[in-house]
Structure 1
Amino acid sequence: MITGLGKIARNALAMLTLGMLALTQLTPAHAQSRIKDIADFEGVRDNMLVGYGLVVGLNGTGDDLGDAEFTRQSMVAMLERLGINVRDQIEDLESDNIAAVMATATLPPFSRQGSRIDVNISAIGTAESLQGGTLLVTPMVGADGEVYAVAQGNLAVGGFSAGGNAETIVKGVPTSARIANGGIVEREIDFNLNSMQDMSVVLRNPDFTTARRVSEAINAYLGEVAARASDPGTVRLNIPERYNQNIVALLTDIEQLRVEPDQIARVVIDENTGTIVMGENVRINRVAIAQGNLTIRVTETPQVSQPSPFSQTGTTEVVDRTNIEVDEGEDNQLGIMNGGVSLQELVNGLNSLGVGPRDMITILQAIKTSGALQAEIEVM
């Protein structure tokens, strides 16, 4: 008998354990992110490059030299560099196969001389399309005015433009193009990691709590106090002696550490598209919400008034008839939201009132004005 009771108890304990495991799996876990995905290391960043150049070989879709004088002057300067003097005939030059463009590129960190980068091309004149064009040698300069890369090559255009006298069809943006691996790095940016004694971990979304968690995660991994949060967006890191001359290994290990980023309660609204994005920390105090649909229709139905047949007097007149209808809706409701409701409860409550996205924007702004919405509202 005792054996049977023990067996029942063990079975009950096993079932209880399985139930607790199931509940644990159903409970949403806080999302953790790698430090690599939420922060950057100071100095390890991209650099923007820009250049001005000419695209040739266009099939009659280039700049109108009469309207784009800078294109004409650029063409003359380019020909003179090649030993062709056409300055005396500058006013007579006519061509619709050339276009002035801006070239932009991103120089990745630690790019070495001779490596290649992608280049984006955008027309700045009156060109209709860059389809079939070739970019001539274009120096790419950085913010300091120094040349860091040179671009040249055939353009790959994602759109097209075609038409005649009566109709034109345009797909995509034919005045923008791309040259894959079209830029060659000519100058390197000096940056010696192994000579650094300390560096900063820069958060992409500054936050006091996240900065503290990042510093604690780094210190726990290193086993010493090497990192400290100096402000919401910066964690200062002293390089441990054992990582001297091997900082790459340290940064690799730090990148893989996982922390739970904190975020402020924020509601982002795009009134143009009716898009609403709310974080999980959005809360509202107890508030009553009434959503009404007021529709007013004004219809004009002009009528003709004319005299009787064979009448000697009177004229035919057009008489205006205006019909106005007012509909306040039949489903107007007053809903009460209890204090401290979560994001899901807030959305469910507003949906139960039959609120569409655009009406929801107005309601959220009104709740914020009343002081019941404990979140920031950011309008895009």
Structure 2
Amino acid sequence: MLGGLAAVLAFSAQPAWAGSRIKDIVDFENVRPNQLIGYGLVVGLAGTGDRMRNSPFTEESMQAMLERMGVNIRQAQMKTQNVAAVSITATMPAFSRAGSAIDVTVAALGDATSLQGGTLIATSLRGLDGNTYAVAQGQVAVSGFKAQGAAANISRGVSTSARIAGGAIVEREVPYALRSANTLKLALRNPDFTTAQRVADVINKNFPGSAQMLDPATVQLTPTSAVPGGVVDLLTRVENLPVDVDQPARVVVNEAAGTVVMNADVRVSPVAIAQGGLTISVAESPVASQPAPLSSGTTQVLPRTQINVDDGGGKSLAMLEGASLKSLVGGLNALGVSPRDLITILQALKTAGALQAEIEVQ
């Protein structure tokens, strides 16, 4: 198992990020999606909706909806469980135009047990500014299920959350004034001084005087007379330029999954590593003690415990100055460490000051 891990890590030591396009490593100023949210009702559920007694907001919403349609049921007592109150969320991509469709996610707010087979009634989706940008409606698609009987139940996934593909229609556009802008900022997704300077250099090499690094996360574009189309024209010309991306040495550790990912810049200072698995096993084998014949004694169970200790014959590894990722993983493989032991060793190396990299624990 560790051998496979070593192969993956050794492969990652290659410069896989060399020559990345600018559009793949930056975000463009003011070009972003917008989050939308709404509240509505899902109807048509087969008895798996909200119970009116426990979810009064569902009853109020249903009464308000029927009143808008000319049906007055304020004095009636509702007992249906075929309706569920839900929250609706969606992400409207940048430059979405009126009439385009976007996906929505629906999640139960009350005590509904499943949204399977339900239909979302037309609901407005608003942005944080309070304006309506889209209207959602349609048949919900649930990926999970839940079944139960008198003595057992089974579930898979989440049946109270669903999606509607293309379930919202954009009604209002978000204006983007790129054409009239005099400058545009590129925001690096992974801020780095070296990478930001390389982005500016490669742009200026092709379009002299068009780029300036402001900080490790920002490069400013300014169109020159050589680009008559302004910011938009310059942006279309530079977004596909290749850049060698630099990054700090980093080790990402997921303790729950036992996964370790390291980039090629990880280095190890002179250090000795000793790894030995201490295994202590405790076994209980009680025995029965029988009384002598014709005696008045009773049978008793006497405890018997066996304890075995195995120190694993600990092995050691010495690393030379500036040892690379490949040397580190190869040496740890020679010790026969497991992925989880590798995590512990890397954390100990960082504490000892021998691991020249950041450790990010997830």
User: Please, what TM-score do these two structures have when normalized by structure 2?
Assistant: 0.92
- Secondary structure of the 1:194 match is coil
Residue of structure 1 equivalent to 2:178: 193
Change (3 A) 1:315 1:166: closer
For the pair 1:317 / 2:300, whether they are aligned, the reply is yes
User: How far off its partner does 1:234 sit?
Assistant: 0.6
- Secondary structure of the 2:130 match is coil
2:117 to 109, 119, 132: 132
2: CA distance between counterparts of 1:302 and 1:352? Answer: 41
1: CA distance between counterparts of 2:162 and 2:26? Answer: 31
What does 1:48-127 align with in structure 2 at a 5 Å threshold? 48-89=35-76, 92-127=77-112
User: How far off its partner does 1:29 sit?
Assistant: 8.0
Q: What residue ranges of structure 1 are gaps of 5+ in the alignment?
A: 1-26
Change (3 A) 1:293 1:147: same
2: CA distance between counterparts of 1:104 and 1:244? Answer: 41
1:289 to 273, 276, 280: 273
Residue of structure 2 equivalent to 1:355: 337
Q: For residues 148-193 of structure 1, give each alpha carbon's deviation from its aligned partner in whole angstroms, at most 9, with x where no partner exists.
A: 1110011122222333323333233222211111111111111121
For the pair 1:376 / 2:361, whether they are aligned, the reply is no
Q: For residues 344-365 of structure 1, give each alpha carbon's deviation from its aligned partner in whole angstroms, at most 9, with x where no partner exists.
A: 1111111110000000011001
Q: For residues 269-305 of structure 1, give each alpha carbon's deviation from its aligned partner in whole angstroms, at most 9, with x where no partner exists.
A: 0111101010110000011001111111112222222
1: CA distance between counterparts of 2:81 and 2:16? Answer: 62
Change (3 A) 1:244 1:146: farther
Q: For residues 135-159 of structure 1, give each alpha carbon's deviation from its aligned partner in whole angstroms, at most 9, with x where no partner exists.
A: 0111111122221111001112222
2: CA distance between counterparts of 1:305 and 1:187? Answer: 86
- Secondary structure of the 1:364 match is helix
Residue of structure 1 equivalent to 2:8: none
User: How far off its partner does 1:326 sit?
Assistant: 1.0
Of all paired residues, the percent bearing the same amino acid is 57
1: CA distance between counterparts of 2:127 and 2:245? Answer: 34
Q: Match for 1:37: what amino acid?
A: D
Q: Match for 1:295: what amino acid?
A: T
Which range moved further: 62-71 or 178-187? 62-71
For the pair 1:301 / 2:301, whether they are aligned, the reply is no
Residue of structure 2 equivalent to 1:258: 242
Residue of structure 2 equivalent to 1:210: 195
What does 1:4-15 align with in structure 2 at a 5 Å threshold? none
Residue of structure 1 equivalent to 2:27: 40
2: CA distance between counterparts of 1:192 and 1:30? Answer: 33
Q: Match for 1:225: what amino acid?
A: G
- Secondary structure of the 2:264 match is coil
Change (3 A) 1:377 1:262: same
| Structure (1 or 2) with the larger CA radius of gyration | 1
What does 1:127-166 align with in structure 2 at a 5 Å threshold? 127-166=112-151
Q: Match for 1:132: what amino acid?
A: G
1: CA distance between counterparts of 2:235 and 2:161? Answer: 38
For the pair 1:179 / 2:161, whether they are aligned, the reply is no
- Secondary structure of the 1:104 match is strand
Q: For residues 44-74 of structure 1, give each alpha carbon's deviation from its aligned partner in whole angstroms, at most 9, with x where no partner exists.
A: 1111111111100011111222222222222
Would the aligned equivalents of 1:136 and 1:152 in 2 still touch at CA under 8 Å? yes
Would the aligned equivalents of 1:195 and 1:245 in 2 still touch at CA under 8 Å? no
Would the aligned equivalents of 1:194 and 1:244 in 2 still touch at CA under 8 Å? no
Q: What residue ranges of structure 2 are gaps of 5+ in the alignment?
A: 1-13
2: CA distance between counterparts of 1:255 and 1:123? Answer: 41
2: CA distance between counterparts of 1:197 and 1:76? Answer: 53
- Secondary structure of the 2:309 match is strand
Which range moved further: 176-185 or 35-44? 176-185
1: CA distance between counterparts of 2:227 and 2:170? Answer: 31
User: Please, what TM-score do these two structures have when normalized by structure 1?
Assistant: 0.88
1: CA distance between counterparts of 2:17 and 2:359? Answer: 24
Q: Please identify which structure carries the higher helix content.
A: 1
Which range moved further: 99-108 or 121-130? 121-130
- Secondary structure of the 1:100 match is strand
- Secondary structure of the 1:193 match is coil
Tell me the number of residue pairs that the alignment of Structure 1 and Structure 2 aligns: 349
**Larger RCO (alpha carbons 8 Å, 6+ apart):** 2
2: CA distance between counterparts of 1:30 and 1:177? Answer: 36
